Amino acid sequence: MSIGSHSRSGLVRGPQRCGTPLLVVRGHDGEVRAFRNACRHRGMKLADGSGCAKAFVCGYHGWAYRLDGALQHVPHDHGFPDLDKASHGLVRVGATEHGGIVFVNQGCSHIERTALAEIPALLSDTQQVFATKESVTNANWKLSMEGNLEGYHIKPTHKTSFYPYGYDNLTVVETFGHHSRVTFPFRRIEKLRAVAPELRKIDGMVTYVYHLFPNVIVAILSNHTTLSILEPLSPTQTRFHTYRLDNPSPAGGQIAHEKVARDATFVSDTGGKEDAAVIRGIQDGIASGANDHFTYGLFEQAIVHFHQTLHAQLN
């Protein structure tokens, strides 16, 4: 989930991840906190969607909580003579902010920042979210992840969309800890041949695709950045949570919104739809029972790294 460090206090998001309703909020002190989205009285969910709030008030009986999760008010509290308010605050889960992205861990109440040290800062304070989308595809989440991590399919799958602007099967793959980065150069990078090496800048001449293990993709394109969270719903269904942000201009300031929106629309309406069709086709192919394993080549090392890391974590 992306909540830039410039967002105002009281900004609340009420997502549900892997079946668990959560509350993510920036407090008046600027700190981002996350809680299980349930009143401590009789379990009513406190918030849905996104917005701003000064407190969380249960719509059932009116119990109220501060943004730091503390129980603030109980109507007719004389009816609860033994209630210890201090122990009936919202149940906190781990949350921390790193590089413009909020990371939440439902299995703990605190995340050590050292756990995120290997992840580079990918979003800046100046970037604004200009579009969000949720969608469900009938395919396993790992198939959706794999499609982001190689360029071997560029020409066959994206022959008239991405391929005219890029190369067939030409990427640079880097791994760092559990994570990876795949760099896709545009054809216009050839212009740098005429530039002295010490003066070369590749801003706008490549697409960076970061895989943040296990289920987040950050794609930094020329004019915009897409952050996608892949939420497994079942072995054959995945929910995509997609956030699109404008990119800073190399000359300073932000890139014109019209240019950003045009770029994002092209990507989603062409290559995005082509990838989605392929992923559904693979899921259908799995159902045929023809394969008891997949075969990965040297061009697909980021996918191999992903599966090796996942296997190690599960075992």
pLDDT tens readout for residues 183-228: 999 999 999 999 999 999 998 899 999 999 999 999 999 999 999 9
Do 72 and 55 touch, CB atoms closer than 8 A? Answer: yes
- Separation of alpha carbons 203 and 221, rounded Å: 9
Topology of domain 11-116 in CATH is Rieske Iron-sulfur Protein (2.102.10)
Q: Mean pLDDT across the stretch 4-32?
A: 72
Q: Mean pLDDT across the stretch 127-152?
A: 95
Report the alpha-carbon angle 98-100-103, nearest 5.
50
Q: Mean pLDDT across the stretch 257-271?
A: 92
The pLDDT assigned to 242 comes to 94
What percent of the chain is predicted at pLDDT more than 90?
71
> Is residue 112 predicted with pLDDT exceeding 60?
yes
The pLDDT assigned to 212 comes to 95
Q: Mean pLDDT across the stretch 264-287?
A: 96
State the first-to-last Cα distance of the chain, in angstroms, to the nearest integer. 27
Do 241 and 129 touch, CB atoms closer than 8 A? Answer: no
DSSP code, position 76: T
Between residues 48 and 1, the one the model is more confident about:
48
Do 58 and 41 touch, CB atoms closer than 8 A? Answer: yes
Alpha-carbon separation of residue 52 from 31, 62, 154, 200, 304 (angstroms): 15, 18, 42, 44, 42
Tokens coding 102? 């909020």
Do 240 and 229 touch, CB atoms closer than 8 A? Answer: yes
Residue ranges of alpha helices (H) inside the chain are 141-146, 154-157, 257-267, 273-287, 301-314
Q: Where are the domains of the chain?
A: 11-116, 129-314
> Is residue 6 predicted with pLDDT exceeding 50?
no
Question: 129-314 — its CATH code?
Answer: 3.90.380.10
- Separation of alpha carbons 245 and 250, rounded Å: 16
Full-model pTM: 0.87
pLDDT tens readout for residues 272-283: 999 999 999 999
Alpha-carbon separation of residue 193 from 99, 169, 202 (angstroms): 33, 21, 12
The pLDDT assigned to 126 comes to 84
Structure confidence at residue 3 as a pLDDT band (50, 70, 90)? very low
The pLDDT assigned to 9 comes to 59
